Amino acid sequence: MRTIVRLSARDTCSRSAAGDAGVLASLAVLPFKTSSKDVSKRAALTAMLNDLASEEKSPRARSLQLFTTASLRAALGKLPANVDDGSGTQLYALASNGPRDALILILAKRGNDWKPVGLVRR
């Protein structure tokens, strides 16, 4: 299972780095969690992901790590707002280019697949 989740996270991050906001938005589950609000319309999500891709300094994260809720809390000390839904069933991919430049991709199982359900900047 961890390999499937890692591949899903890597594919999502690669699409983000490549600027495939439309494809990335089509893979995501709505409402999509962000740091400040939930995005409930696909067009708004595509626009948000396009903006995010244009802000990225590096086209590819140097590191991608998978975490459970507990292990992410242990690694970060405190979870960013709007990350944990309380279910304990989400996994998190931390894509990082350094200690102050990281994105947390929130993944949840939908059917047989792990889908992106949120993205939070740290």
Radius of gyration of the chain (CA): 13
Question: Which pTM does this prediction carry?
Answer: 0.80
Cα(32)–Cα(118) distance, integer angstroms: 5
CATH number of 2-121: 3.10.450
Render pLDDT for 100-122 as a digit per residue (tens, 0 to 9): 778 898 999 888 888 899 998 87
Cα(100)–Cα(90) distance, integer angstroms: 23
β-sheet bridge partners, residue 65: 94
Render pLDDT for 32-87 as a digit per residue (tens, 0 to 9): 999 888 999 999 999 988 887 777 655 566 778 899 998 999 988 888 888 877 78
